[in-house]
Every structure is written in structure tokens, then in C-alpha cells.
Structure 1
Amino acid sequence: MRNLLLALIFAWSTSAVASSSCQGAFPNLITDVCYDCMFPITISGLALNFGIQSEDYDTTASGRLVCVCVKSLSAGLPTSFWEPEYMVDVTNKPGCMPMLGGVDINPPYNDMEVGDDGDDNPHIGGRSGSAFMHVNEYLNPVMTAMGVIADSPCLDTRGLDVPFISWADPTWNDDSLSMILTPYGYAFAGIPSIAAEAPDAISATFGFPSATLFWVAGSWGPMYPVTGNVSVSNTPEQIAHLLVARLFAKLHAAGALQSTAGKEALESCGALGIPEFLMDKRQYKTNRTFPFPDNMCTPIGRPLPIQETGAARPNDKDYGYFIFRKKDCCTPIVQP
């Protein structure tokens, strides 16, 4: 009886420790999401910003007066905006889902699958930070979920879903295995990556990153390999943002995500866009909601000194973000 009691106490204490290591909170869709990131909004080239100042880049798709959808035999108005469509969290514990309120699935895992960050060469007195973290992607089209706009072909009408969890992906902690999906990443390792980070970071600082320099994420680091291994880690925010960028690059390369920005996406006349295996990183902006909202719209690669302020507390190991995606869509006016 005594041994059974000790076993139950040990099991309870182990479970308590596991659950306490997973923090999180489902975002308050009213107060935590920076809806200013949806702007600028244009219809037939006319800006509807209501005095809200927000950054954008020209896809050359929304300037025309009318658009035609051949597949639905309809005509409409070119519409451009940023849709809050995805959530992504970054955590060091496999099975931890911070953006679902800190739910801990607690799957079986080994020491190699646990996230961590540390020093690479403390034995010679130097410091070279590295890290490994997990990510979870959630589909959460807020505008549809809240019923703000009903029956619009430009909005994602899918329900809440979890399309990707890194701890179930065998390539997420294996750089060599991940290159099977993106073999072109080998060509941009080392010097090409380092040389491209500065100009891409400068471009992102004053607007949006360079679509041409697809193999880097500006000041956040190299885009490849698309794994959770970060060879140069500076701050928790930098690590988390880089892994968000890598996640979307990976999903594009796998054909799981499509492009919703540009003339071709506009003419596709749908909310999900067209295939784009090499991600145009300009079409995404991040907005942190956990551990506390930053109320900022951050393009991929932008330096993070403001976002990092107060966001590296010892108790904060998990981070969550809302992802805004650029949409060029034809809003139907005349249809059969």
C-alpha cells in the first residue's frame, strides 16, 4: 500500500511539473489582436484607412477599377487588405500548445526533442548562442469567426484547426533531412546568407523585406534549413520570429500554403490564393499576443528592439503570435 501511495505521489508530482512548464493563453480576440494591422485597405485603388496609418507594399493588383472572375462569370472590385488568419506559437516543450491556453498533450519524447538555448563555446571564453524550439500553427480566421463580415469570397471561411505541429514532424530537428524538401537551401548557406542579411534587414526596417533575397529573414537570421535549429540566437524574440518565418517557408515549399497577394491571386477570385512554392515573405506580418500583446505589425526580417522590450523575462519560455496575410481579391458585384 505504501509503495502504491508513493507511486501515485510521484506520478502526480511529475504531471504537475510537466503542466507547469507549459504556459499559455488563448488570445482575447477583442483586445489582444492589433486590428490596425489589417490596414491599409483599398478598393479599386481607393484607400479606406479611416485615419489609421499602417505599412503596405504595392503588389500592382489593386490599382485597377474592376476585375473579372472567369471561373464564376462574375465581375467586381479589386480589394486589398491584410487578413488575420493564422496563429503560431513557439515553445521549448514538445506537445505544449500555448495559444490554446497552455494545453499540454505531453507526448512521448526524448532529450533531443526538448527545446533549449545556450552557449556553444563557453570553454574558450566566447559566446555563440544557439537554440532549438518547437512551433505549432493554428488556422484561426478571426473575421469569419467573429462574424464581422459574412459571405465574402475574399475571407477564409474555414474553422479553427491545427494544420502543423513540429513535434510530429521528423524533419523539424534534422537539418539534413529537412533539405530534402528545400534542396536549393544548400546554395545559400554560409557567406551568401551572411551577406544578404544586412541589406534585407535594412529593407525591412524602412518597409518590407526584399522578395529577391528569399533565403534570409533579415535581422532574424537565415531562412534555411527550415528546422527548429537556430545556429545564432540573440534573444527569445529573435528566435521565435525566425522560426515563424521558417515555418511559413516550409509550408509553402510543401505546397500546404498558397500566395494570396498579387495579380494572379486577384484573378483567382478565391480566399486561398494560388500555389507559391518559394515564399514571398512580404505577404506576412506578425503581431505578438503572448505572453503579452505588443500591438505592433512586424514584417519578416525587421529588427526587434521595440518588440523585445520586457519580453525576455525568465518565466517567459513560450511565445504566441497572430499572423496577418496580404490579400488581393476580387469582391464580386455582378454575378449570375
Structure 2
Amino acid sequence: MRWVALLTLFVSLAFAGAATASPADALRVCTGRFVNPITAPCWDCIFPLTIGSVPIWRGKGVRIDAPNPPSPICACGTPIPRVGLTIGYWEPSRLMDVTQKPFCFPNLGGLSISPGFGYAGKSEYRQESGAARTAYHAHYYVYPLLAWLQILTDFVCMESSGFDIAYMTEFDPLWNSDELSAIINPEVFLFANPIAQLACSADCVAATTVGRPIQKLFWCAGCQGSLYPMTGQVAGDYGPLTGSLHVAEKFQAKLHRELLAWGTRGSLSLCQPIPQPTMDKLQYRFQLVTPVAHKNLFSCTAIGKSTVPYEHLKVIPVKGEDIGYLVWKKRNCCAL
């Protein structure tokens, strides 16, 4: 299987790089665990399950759903001509590592490789102004869990790919430079002012109290700050959970800008995913799975929601905490 080959490659690189690793590399410790696909996900996050705009199963939680297409009947010409029902649900589709250590894979059991490329580790530092900044690397895994477990098994709606590592920021020069990242998000200069940043406070309130971030404030990540620049640098980091969640949100926005992530919510995406260069903030929820799986009423939080209600005892206090997220994606589909 492909994921077995990938793991074999990583282990080989780890041993091959050990001879050339610097003393600093040898001393770093990558923490993590393999995600249990049965016990780690908060399965109640799949709800509400809807037909059209009507919820047919809400689950046990009080999570606010994203808006759904109003009509319960749909018709598609591609990829398979069909007339069906407009269903809506939340799908655990991706895993994401967020770590300060290059080539550290928290969601692969804390696997760490040292290929000798000389990529610097991320860390906390201070700007000339004295403000604290922290920087992270991120990894993105294809993880179509519902298809693997054959849950909601309409083959038209399910992603059928296998496990894969889709993206590693260690190989991306745009991720490590605020200036270079402007190549893919030149509008960053429009939001680098106090007025635009102050508007994010309204997004924070909406995401935390109502459970729906304000889509028109597309440059905001609510209580975490701004989605710009789309790099691993975060300012005003008040803790590893807040900082890593901020990076996860920025990384997801970057994938959309690069057309590596597409839109799956709303009437336009009923037949197939659509290109979406500006991320739909209502389309994603993030669940902490490493180091401590987060499974309660506050799990699978909306983009921009405050971490204060649930961050207690969720992060083990070790230097350079390595954190893993399960990315839940809203899916509207014309099911047979």
C-alpha cells in the first residue's frame, strides 16, 4: 500500500540522515501518536445530517451547522447524470500536523526524520518592537475516513483515495517568508492596517457565540487574528494551542489560494467540488487529536472560535509542542 511505502521511506531517511544530523537535531524530540480512526474522532461532529435545509439528525451536540441548499431535490449531469437528494453532513477528510520542528510528524506517532537538508527549526522569537512571534511547519494528510469505514457509502459523494501525505511546508519557500508569500496573496497589503485587524474582533465574537464566522471578513481568523500573510509566522502567540490553531487556519486558506483545496459546500458544489481560491470559512471545523484527543461539546470548533473554553489540559507542557488536528469539511452532495 502507498502509505506503507511512505512510512518505509521516512524510516530509511531517518536512519540515513542520522549520520549527518547536527547535535541540535539529535537532541530534538518529536512527540505524537498514531491517530486511532475509531476512538480519536468526535463522531458526533458528523452532524447535523440534512436533506435540503431540513436537519434529519442533529446528534447530541449543540454545534451550529453551516447553511445548506434550500431544495431537497437536485439534478446533476456530471460526473454521473443523476437526480437525487440534496444531503449535507460533516466529513473527516484530512489530518494536519502543526509543529515547530522540521520533518516532525505528530500524527505518525511522533516520527522524526533528519534528511540533512538544513531546514531550520521554528521557534519563538521577538521582533525589534519587542512583540513575540512564533513560527510553525505544517503537514497535510489525505484522510478520507468515512470512505474507509464505509459510513454514508454513496460512492458519488465519498472521496475514495487512500492515505497520503499531500503537502509539507518544509519544501515551500513561500511558507517561510512573509514577503515571498505576497506572490499568491498580493491583497495582504490591504489588510495590514489597524482598521482591518480591528474588524476581526467582530469575527471572533460571531465564531465564539454563534458558531459561524463572518464570511465577508475573509481576511480574519476570528479570535486567532488574521489569515494574512499565509505563512507559518504568528504574532501575539498566547500558547501552543492558540498558535497552532492559527497556523492550521492560515494553512487551509493557503491551500485554497493554491487551488489544492476546493469548495464542497453550497448549491454550486452539489455535483462535484468547485475551484475556490478564497477559503469558505463556514466549510471547516478543526478537532484536536494530538497530543490529547478533544471530544466534547466544544470539539470540532469553527474557524476563529476562542480556545479558552476547552484548552485546559489539552496540551502537554513540553518545549515546542507538536500538535495534530483532524480537519472536518462540510459536504453538500447530490446523492443517489
What is the identity, as a one-letter code, of the residue corresponding to 2:294?
D
Determine which structure has more spread, i.e. the larger CA radius of gyration.
Answer: 1
Q: Which one of 225, 228, 239 corresponds to residue 235 of structure 1?
A: 239
Q: Which one of 29, 35, 52 corresponds to residue 37 of structure 2?
A: 29
Give the structure 1 partner of residue 312 of structure 2.
309
Q: Does 1:261 align with 2:261?
A: no
CA distance in 2, matches of 1:119, 1:298: 29
CA distance in 2, matches of 1:155, 1:41: 15
Segment of structure 1 superposing worse, 296-305 or 63-72: 63-72
What is the identity, as a one-letter code, of the residue corresponding to 1:240?
S
CA distance in 2, matches of 1:300, 1:218: 7
Deviation at 1:241, TM superposition (A): 0.6
CA distance in 1, matches of 2:266, 2:72: 15
Deviation at 1:50, TM superposition (A): 5.9
CA distance in 2, matches of 1:17, 1:181: 32
Please give the residue correspondences for 1:264-279 in structure 2 after superposition, counting only pairs within 5 Å: 264-266=268-270, 269-270=271-272, 273-279=273-279
Give the structure 2 partner of residue 178 of structure 1.
181
Q: Say whether the 8 Å CA contact 2:92–2:146 is kept in structure 1.
A: yes
What is the identity, as a one-letter code, of the residue corresponding to 1:324?
W
Q: Say whether the 8 Å CA contact 2:52–2:68 is kept in structure 1.
A: no
CA distance in 1, matches of 2:291, 2:310: 12
Q: Say whether the 8 Å CA contact 1:89–1:98 is kept in structure 2.
A: yes
What is the identity, as a one-letter code, of the residue corresponding to 1:261?
R
Q: Which one of 203, 206, 221 corresponds to residue 206 of structure 2?
A: 203
Structure 1: gaps of 5 or more residues: 1-9
Q: Say whether the 8 Å CA contact 1:37–1:54 is kept in structure 2.
A: no
CA shift in 2, pair 1:12/1:306, >3 Å: farther
Give the structure 1 partner of residue 11 of structure 2.
none
CA shift in 2, pair 1:168/1:253, >3 Å: same
Structure 2: gaps of 5 or more residues: 1-17
Secondary structure of 2:57's counterpart equals coil
CA distance in 2, matches of 1:182, 1:310: 36
Deviation at 1:312, TM superposition (A): 4.2
Q: Does 1:160 align with 2:167?
A: no
Secondary structure of 1:172's counterpart equals helix
Q: Does 1:146 align with 2:153?
A: no
Give the structure 1 partner of residue 73 of structure 2.
66
Deviations 1:198-225 (A, max 9, x none): 1000010121111100111011011111
Q: Does 1:99 align with 2:107?
A: yes
Deviation at 1:189, TM superposition (A): 1.0
Segment of structure 1 superposing worse, 295-304 or 189-198: 189-198
CA distance in 2, matches of 1:186, 1:12: 41
CA shift in 2, pair 1:163/1:64, >3 Å: same
How many residues end up aligned between the 2 structures?
Answer: 313
Give the structure 2 partner of residue 6 of structure 1.
none
Task: Report the identity percentage.
Answer: 32
CA shift in 2, pair 1:19/1:323, >3 Å: farther
CA distance in 1, matches of 2:135, 2:50: 40
